[in-house]
Structures are given as C-alpha cells and as structure tokens.
Structure 1
Amino acid sequence: MIETMGRAAGGSPPALRAAGLAPRALRRLRPRHPLAWGLVVAVAALVVTPLASLVAIALRGDPDLWAHLAAYVLPDALVTTLALLAGIAALTTVIGVGTAWLVALYDFPGRGVLVWLLPLPLAFPTYIVAYVYADTLDALGPVQTGLRWLLGIEAPAGSLLPEMRSLGGAVVVMSLVLYPYVYLAMRASLQARSAVLVEAARLLGAGAFRIARVITLPMARPALAAGLALVLMEALNDIGASEYLGVRTLTLTVFTTWLNRGSLAGAAQIACVMLIVVAALIALERHARRHRSVAAGGTDVRLCGRTRLAGARGLAALAACLVPVALGFLVPFGFLLHEVIARGLVVGFDPDLVRHAGSTVMLAGAAAVLTLALGFGAAFAARLVRRRRATALLGLAGLGYAVPGTVLALGLLGPLVAVDEAIGGVVRAVTGHGPGLLLAGSGAAVVIAYVIRFLAVATGFAQAGLARLPVELDDAAASVGVRPGRVVRAIHLPLTRPALFGAALLVFVDSLKELPATLLLRPLNVETLATYVYQFAARGSFEEGALAALLIVLVGLLPVIRMVRLADDLDPKPPLA
C-alpha cells in the first residue's frame, strides 16, 4: 500500500488528473475532519487559557495597588530587565556571530574539536553557572584569594575583580550560557552561503569585507533574529541567576510579589507587563525576518567552502573560539566535578537525592510524552485540514515557549482550581464527600506547565518533519479510500520518527532544567533536581548540591550533541585553498 501511494504521489498532479482526480475533485473528496479541528482548537486553547486567566486576575486587582506598582516597583524592574536584555543581546551577538563566522568560513587548527565544544554551554542552566561564578569570584573565593597571595596582599581590602553580583555580572554569566543559540543559527546560515553569489561579487571586484557587509551578513539576518529571540526568551524566563546575582528583573519581581508579599493580583499585574515585553520581542523578531528570504538563482547550488588559516592567524582563531567554550562550559564543569570529588558526594551522597531524581524523571518523562502526543497530533491535524485558520491556531499553540515560567504558573492557578472545583462538585454530588484539590498543588500542575511551555518544540519538530512529505501522498491515499488514521500510522509516523526522537529529547531535558514554574507549582515536600540545587544555593551552600547540578548538565549534553550532529551534516567539507 505504501509503495502504491508513493508511486501515485510520484506522478504528481498530472498523474492524478490522468486518473480522473483533479485537485478540485480531491478537495471535494476530502472530508471536514471535525476531530482534527477539535484537536487543533483544544491545543491552542490549552495555551491561551492561562494567559486569559492571568489578565482576568490582574483586572480584578485593586486599582490602588496598580498605582503603587506603577510608581515604585515597575519602573526599576522594567529598566533593569531591558538593560539586562540589551546587554545579553549585544554580548551574545558578538560571541555567537564571531565564533560561527570563524567555524563556518575558515579552517584552522582545532576547528574539528571546537565544532563540538562551542554549543556545550547550552547543557548548563543559567542559574548553575551563576552559582559557580558568584562563589568562585567572590572577594573571599578561591580566585581572589589566589590573586592576593600572588600579589602579596594579606588582608582582603575589597574586591580585586568586578563584582559578579551585579547587572554586568548577570549579563556576562547569561551570555556565556546562551550564546550557542546565536552560534548554531548563524553557523547553519553561513554554511548555506551560495558560491554563485560570492563568485559573482568577486568577479565584479568586491573585496572580502564588502561581500560580508552586502551579501553574507544581510542573508544571515533572519538566522540572527531567530537566535537572539531564543536567547532573550530564555533570559526573560530566568529567575535563579538573577535572584542569586541580585538583579531585580520583572520575573523576579513577579516571584517576590506573589510569594513574599502574598499579593496574587499585584503579581498578575506585573506579569501582564511582562507579556507586553514578550509580545514586543516576538514582533521585533518577525520584523527582522520579514522580506529577508534570499535564494540563489540559477541551477548552481554549490555551497562555499572554507578558507584555510595557518600560523598566527589560525592560532588567533583557535584562541577566540576557546575563550567562550572555556568560560561557558569547561570552567563550570570542572568546578562541579571538583566539588563532587572533594566533598565525597558520590560515595556519601544524600539518600534523598535518589528520590528527587526519580521525581524529576517522572515529571519530565510525563511532560515529554504528553507534549509529543499533543504537538505532533495537532501538527498532523493541521496538515489534514489544510486551512489557514488551522495553521494560525497551531502557531498560537506555540506561544507558550515565549511565556516565562513564572507568568505561566501564575496564569495556571485559576483554570486548575476551576477544574478541581468542577470535579469536586460532581464527586460530592455522587458520594457526599469532596476529593479536595486534584490538579492544583499536585505533580499534574507541574506537568501541565511543562507541556504548555514546551509545546512549541514538539509542533516545530513535527511541522519540519511533515514539510518533507509531499501533500500529494495524502491526496493519493484519500483517492483510494485510505482513512487518515492509517495514513498517519503507515506513513507519517515512520517517516517523522527522527523528528519525534529529537523533540522528545529536547522537551525532556528542558523540563529537567525548568526552575521558575517548578518552584511555584510543585507539590509540598516534592523536589526536582533543579529545585534541589536552588534550595542549597538559597542557603548559601551551593557546593553541597554539586552532584545534582552535575547530573542536570550530563543529561543536558544529549540534545546538544544531537544538535551538533544535525549542524555538521550541513557543513560543506571541501575547503578552499
């Protein structure tokens, strides 16, 4: 059956017309698929509902409270957040574009190893790297103690290095972890440079600098915009690093207003301001990519090779790429490994760590399964329906990734409590006893937050995998009476299996590292590896949680390695002399 449909699809529209099935006739044969529409609408509603609940909570708040927040809380938090995002955007652009430029366009000693090392900082959550550098570079930390010994300074009369617990320290720390988003996007774009355009520019007398300014960088602008959007979304979601480094962002303000001051309405009002910032970031990213699609003309699809750098230039390129790798991965990883060995955390580890690791795997695993089922199911449904409204709803379902975990957790409270009350009312009417809260304050609430937040990963992978399958394949199946469910099982699922695996891996690891939503929604006496590390850092003894932090990093290496392999497949192998 698969071979028959493949041959029919291979004939394309002429073959279908020869069989008496013109495209217009095929559209008449295609049913309305109410179940597919229902799935797409339900998945979009899953993401929109907590945001609508958040706005409702904010509107019900005391107007006097909003006046107080607008006068004394929001200005400083908003300015600090914008300054943090601007600094991170600038530094990640310099690091990401610079390293991608060197690796994609040049051959130099050590390049093959750097291709694997440069993305590795993504395995670290920002809060773990913040804990490492804040402790090691403190005035009484090992680095400054060593410097004073070398300089012969006996008493610690102030800090010898810039203060890490500051806005500048947060910019540096987060940029060292998040620059690979820009690096990977820019490397993929730069490797896809068409040799036709570059050779034509050279024939017209353009030098290397002008080619880069007029051709290469403008063509890579959409990739830069996409990478920076991911960087800024992750920075906005952070709570552990900013809290530990003393930077009062909007995210941290929502957290403290809700938990420390007990003002749910005030936290919701601040969260609505964060949604405006998120909307602005999305609008800027789409504007940067608008009308920037560039394709090489003609039939020559050759890609540019790499230019060899030898001697001092090659060593300089190696050093430039090694610095972010060393600071973003090797130093934090070495610190964690040293603390685990020096403190005997493997031999005499905390027995509770096994229980917390089990809770982490269960929550992340459940989130991965549900996210894949909903994300891929909605993508299959949108392909089946083939309407612009379904595609728009699918895009709406992907907005959860742009919403910070703190905001998402706050918006989920209302819907979860409403569902619990509805279930409780039914159970009470039947049995005479209420079951209490079933979703709110349980592991289910954490899983739901993970699913909403990372649904964009599953839908993105599914759409990318399905885009490689010609729609004529579905039409051929419909023309011979094959039901959509069988087409999905026999064709779509087997052919999109690599995308399924990649999405499952990313969702699992992202759920493993998620801190803000987990902190706010986890049940009592339940810890994940992320919250376990956070508790030690909050008590000023982060080193005692080094083993849990190391486990998070080791698991986080898996999707990073997969991304490197995918990027390496696009790499043009023959260099130019």
Structure 2
Amino acid sequence: MARRDARAAGGRFQTWPWHAGTALAALGVLAPVLALVGQAGAGAGGHWSHLLRFVLPDALAQTLGLLAGVGLLAAALGVGAAWLVTAYEFPGRRILSWALLLPLAVPTYVVAYAYLDILHPIGPVQEALRALLGHASPRDFRLPDLRSLPGAIVLLAFVLYPYVYLTTRSMFASQAAHLMEAARLLGHGPWSAFRHVALPLARPAIAVGLCLVLLETLNDIGASEFLGVQTLTVALYTTWVTRSDLAGAAQIALVALALVTVLIAVERHGRRRLRYTGARRAAPIRPRRLRGAAGWLAALLGLAPVVAGFAAPAAYLLALALERLGGGQGPSPALLRAAEQTLTVSALATAATVAIGLVVAWSRRILPRAAAWRRALPRLATLGYALPGTVLAIGLLFPLMAVERGLAALRAGAGLDPAGLVLLGTPTALALAYVIRFLAIPVGTLEAGLDRIPPSLDQAARLLGENVHGTLRRVHLPLLRPALAASALLVFVDAMKELPATLLLRPLNFDTLATWLYAEAARGTYEEGAIAALGIVAAGLLPVILLARLMDRPAA
C-alpha cells in the first residue's frame, strides 16, 4: 500500500508541471478578455452614450452587412467548387482540386491593395476598356467605384471561400455513393439529388467553414479600411490610434467580442443538432464524366475563383515588383529592415507557440480522465484564435501596462532608472499577441498527432522504466516531428501575415511586411509595396502546398 501511494505521488509530481503550464496558457489567453470586459464595464457612461449615438449604429450595420454578404457569396463559391470537383470529371479537375486553395495564400488586405490599383480609374483594366470603347477620359467612362460595401463583399468572398471549400469537399468526398444512387433510383436528377441528399449531409461542414470565413472577415482591418467600409474593427482602430481613446476602443472591442461569441455559439449549435451516420466502408461518390463543351465549361467555372482570388492579384504584384527591380531600383533599406524584423518576431513567436502547444497537448494526453475543470483548460487555451486581432491587442494593453508599472516600481526600488518600456517598447508584446492568437494551431495539430499514437506505446515505455518526461522525449517527439513541422510552418506564416494586432502593438520604428504594405497603400505608393506584398504571398503558398499534399494523400 505504501509503495502504491508513493508511486501515485511520484506520478502526480511528474505530471503537475504539464498541467500547471496548461493552466498558465489558459490564463494568458483569458487575461486580455477579462481585462477588456472589466475596462469596458468601468468606462465612463459618456463613452457608451457617444458610441451608441454616433459610432456603433453605422459600424455595426456595415459589419453585419459585410458578414452577411461575404458569408452568402463565400458559401456559394465554396460549396459549388467542392461539389464540382467531387461529383464531376472534367479537364484539369485534378489540378483544380488543389488550385482552389490558392486564395488562402493571399491575405485579404493584399488582394484589396492589388485590386485598388488594377481597377483604378486610370489603372490597366479601365484604360483598356476605354481604349476598346473609344473613350479618352475617365469622365467619359468609368466602372463603379471598388471602394464600397459591395466591392468589399466580392473581394473578401473570393479570398475566403477556400475555408468553406476545404471543409465541404472533405464531407462530399466521404459521402457514400449508395445514397446518391438511391436518390437517382427514386427519380431525382443530379441537381435534385444534390439539393435533397448531399447538401443536407454537408451542412455541419458548411457551418464550420462559414464560421471561419466570418471570423476572418471580422478580423480584417486592411481590406475594409482600403475599401472604405467602416466596420467595428476599423472603428476600434480609429478610436485608439487616431483619437487616443483607449476606454472607447475597449467598449467597441467588447461589442466585437460579443459578436464573435454569437457566431461561435450559432456554429456550435448547428453542429450539435446535425449529426449523421453512415456505413464505415461505403464507397465514395464516383465523379460523373463531363465531355465536350460541358467539361470545358466546368473547368472554366472552377478556374474563375482561382483567377479572381489568387492569379490576377499575384500576377499584378509580380509585374509591379519586376518593373521596379528591372528599373534598377531594388528594395529600399527600410523594406529590408522590415523583412528582417518580420522574420525575427515571427520565428520567436513560432518557437514559443509550438513549445506551449506541446505542453497543452501533452497535458491532455497524460491525464485524460481528469476533473471537468482540468479537461476544460486545453480548450480555454485555444480560444485566442477566435479573437479578432484588434480585440486581442486592446485587451492585452491593460495587463501589459499593469506589468510595466510593476517593473518600473521594481527598477525604482533597486535604484535604477524607472523610465522605459520593457514589454510595450519592444517586440515582446507583439510576440505575446501572436502566441495567444495562434496557439490553437499547434494544439490542434499535435493533439491529432498524439491521437494517432496508440496508448500501448506509453504503457511499454512505462514498463521499461521511462517516466512521463522520458516517454515524451524518447517515444512521442520522434513520432511527432511531422506534426511539429506542420504546426510551426502554419504559425510562422500566420504571424508573418497578421496585420490588426501588429498595427496596435508594434513598438516605435518597428515595421513588419504587413504594416509596411499597409503604410505604402495609405500613401498610394504601389510599386514599393508590391515587393512586400509579394513576399507575404510567397510565404502564404507554403501552407497551401502542405494542405494540397494532405488532401491528395487519401486518394493515393
């Protein structure tokens, strides 16, 4: 009995650091949210009355309009593309199945940046149209202004539809062929079978993808501001940066946080009610071959969102960058410094995020039957991904300023100069925001990797005398190398592309490629910004290639 108690005590001693690390990670994610709620609630009543009268009605209306429009169009594009490459065989289908993911490589603000120049009244498209129609001046003929709510809806939908495509295609590919054949035998044509059988079965997957689209839309700040849409995110940024009103920004952030909560609750409710079962070894849907004009029309329809969401803006940026480099004007020293700073802070944030993600995932592995509150800690640690970057940044400012005051008091007590900012004056705060925002990526990836490792390996390691730490180091880490590499790549690229949190938390004289591009777009200097945009797009291609390889693997 004494030996058993000692063994249990030793096991608890080995596992508690992992659970403590998970608890600290969850606390770090919850701290900005709790600080935001507290500061917004303690804000002056005059702020609320001013916001409710002058700011929130227009910002909330434009935000809801943008979410509704982007959601509907992205769902139509994503579901249509997924069904097209799943249910039909046509020329180029295999290439198109992964090419439809390419818009994920281009951040929304980069697409807006490119199209503002492409579709400018004196840009290449409108100049060519006027020459074709015989007009000499923009006063005689010009297209509708892209800077509008409809323009923002179209651009964002063509960039974000791959989220719906990715989740829905997986569901369509796993559906049993006998269900569609039964529908055909009951007299349903292709469209009717899709509408009555395939689409209802895919509704949970559509809900997941659509929730991601709406969260990304709410997080966007660059495209919305470039296109003149005053969303809650843009209003929050303007209130803090332009008016230096932190209390008002916190209250707007609280409204955005409430909207995020509603979106997640609706998505979870939809998935809870819609559950389907089917044969485990049923044959997947066999694509129907389209011949002649029908096949080429299907190829063109599938190619259209790829061209609009990736090929056109990427080609234009490449042309601008080559024009500048070909003219003997290389990247400016400031741009090279921004690239170096981007790589440095992204690499530091990636290392910290993957390390903390490993702690959280391993904690869940070694204590699967813990109390409910302990099982909830890993889930709480991943909530940061649902927070828009601006909301997270404003929430982080309050605890970071409290820490800065404490550090200043300690330096003063030690006889040192209390002036200076240790966290907010360096990229540390920015890296911390990246860790909180993207921690869900390594946690999810590593948990999936650990779930594929049978528990018998853990038991065998214990029988051979390994403790919890040795089992992770000698058994699981070698098997988790692909998952670690994939999660590190995804976090690194997302950190490089992050704009909202970077705009609010970067120290003085610190630029990343994203903020450099934002500043160049504000100044209207497209040639210099094109090089930064092209670098972001090139980095974004890496996770898309990884996703394409993962999608092709089951079919091999």
TM-score normalised to structure 1 length = 0.90
Structure 2: which amino acid aligns with 1:250?
Answer: L
Render the CA deviation track for 1:516-569: whole Å, top value 9, x for unaligned.
111111111111111111111011122321111111101110000100111112
With over 3 angstroms needed to count, the CA separation of the structure-2 counterparts of 1:536 and 1:145, relative to structure 1, is same
SS in 2 for 1:416: helix
Query: Contact 1:397–1:455 at 8 Å: present in 2 too?
Result: yes
Query: Contact 2:39–2:247 at 8 Å: present in 1 too?
Result: yes
Uncovered stretches (5+) of structure 1, i.e. residues with no partner: 1-25
Render the CA deviation track for 1:157-208: whole Å, top value 9, x for unaligned.
2653222000000001111111111111111111111234344545555543
SS in 2 for 1:290: helix
Deviates more, 1:283-292 or 1:546-555: 283-292
How far off its partner does 1:138 sit?
A: 2.1
Q: Percent identity?
A: 49
How far off its partner does 1:214 sit?
A: 3.4
Deviates more, 1:423-432 or 1:175-184: 423-432
Residue 319 of structure 1 corresponds to 300
Matches within 5 A, 1:31-430: 31=12, 33-157=15-139, 160-202=142-184, 206-297=188-279, 300-344=281-325, 347-349=328-330, 350-386=332-368, 387=370, 388-430=372-414
Structure 2: which amino acid aligns with 1:398?
Answer: T
With over 3 angstroms needed to count, the CA separation of the structure-2 counterparts of 1:304 and 1:29, relative to structure 1, is farther
Uncovered stretches (5+) of structure 2, i.e. residues with no partner: 1-6
Residue 491 of structure 2 corresponds to 507
Instruction: Give distance in 2, aligned partners of 1:56 and 1:159.
Output: 53
Instruction: Give distance in 2, aligned partners of 1:355 and 1:110.
Output: 42
Instruction: Give distance in 2, aligned partners of 1:485 and 1:98.
Output: 48
Instruction: Give distance in 2, aligned partners of 1:490 and 1:242.
Output: 49
Q: 1:438 aligns with which of 402, 422, 425?
A: 422
How far off its partner does 1:225 sit?
A: 1.1
Instruction: Give distance in 2, aligned partners of 1:389 and 1:159.
Output: 64
Residue 451 of structure 2 corresponds to 467
Matched, 1:454 2:435: no
Query: Contact 2:176–2:285 at 8 Å: present in 1 too?
Result: yes
With over 3 angstroms needed to count, the CA separation of the structure-2 counterparts of 1:399 and 1:175, relative to structure 1, is same
Structure 2: which amino acid aligns with 1:469?
Answer: I
Residue 9 of structure 1 corresponds to none
Deviates more, 1:436-445 or 1:341-350: 341-350
SS in 1 for 2:28: helix
Query: Contact 1:84–1:171 at 8 Å: present in 2 too?
Result: yes
Instruction: Give distance in 2, aligned partners of 1:205 and 1:175.
Output: 35
Instruction: Give distance in 1, aligned partners of 2:8 and 2:59.
Output: 54
Instruction: Give distance in 1, aligned partners of 2:198 and 2:268.
Output: 20
Residue 12 of structure 1 corresponds to none
Instruction: Give distance in 2, aligned partners of 1:333 and 1:118.
Output: 14
Deviates more, 1:146-155 or 1:279-288: 146-155
How far off its partner does 1:461 sit?
A: 0.7
Residue 532 of structure 2 corresponds to 548
SS in 1 for 2:281: coil
Residue 16 of structure 1 corresponds to none
Render the CA deviation track for 1:401-456: whole Å, top value 9, x for unaligned.
11111111111111112222223333332344326310113100110011111111
SS in 1 for 2:310: helix
Matched, 1:487 2:471: yes
Matched, 1:535 2:535: no
Instruction: Give distance in 2, aligned partners of 1:438 and 1:346.
Output: 42
Render the CA deviation track for 1:221-262: whole Å, top value 9, x for unaligned.
121111111111111111111111100000000000111111
Instruction: Give distance in 1, aligned partners of 2:476 and 2:130.
Output: 64
How far off its partner does 1:84 sit?
A: 0.1
Residue 562 of structure 1 corresponds to 546
How far off its partner does 1:27 sit?
A: 9.3
With over 3 angstroms needed to count, the CA separation of the structure-2 counterparts of 1:427 and 1:346, relative to structure 1, is farther
How far off its partner does 1:392 sit?
A: 1.6
How far off its partner does 1:142 sit?
A: 2.1
SS in 1 for 2:414: helix
How far off its partner does 1:490 sit?
A: 1.9
SS in 1 for 2:528: helix
Please tell me the root mean square deviation across aligned C-alpha atoms, in Å.
2.0
Deviates more, 1:389-398 or 1:77-86: 389-398
Structure 1: which amino acid aligns with 2:170?
Answer: A
SS in 1 for 2:466: coil
Deviates more, 1:103-112 or 1:246-255: 103-112
How far off its partner does 1:28 sit?
A: 10
With over 3 angstroms needed to count, the CA separation of the structure-2 counterparts of 1:115 and 1:31, relative to structure 1, is same
How far off its partner does 1:472 sit?
A: 4.2
Query: Contact 1:95–1:179 at 8 Å: present in 2 too?
Result: yes
Instruction: Give distance in 2, aligned partners of 1:286 and 1:89.
Output: 17
Instruction: Give distance in 1, aligned partners of 2:81 and 2:426.
Output: 44
TM-score normalised to structure 2 length = 0.94
SS in 2 for 1:439: coil
How far off its partner does 1:71 sit?
A: 1.3
With over 3 angstroms needed to count, the CA separation of the structure-2 counterparts of 1:60 and 1:166, relative to structure 1, is same
How far off its partner does 1:294 sit?
A: 2.5
Q: How many pairs align? A: 546
How far off its partner does 1:345 sit?
A: 6.6
How far off its partner does 1:133 sit?
A: 1.1
Query: Contact 2:208–2:267 at 8 Å: present in 1 too?
Result: yes
SS in 1 for 2:381: helix
How far off its partner does 1:467 sit?
A: 1.6
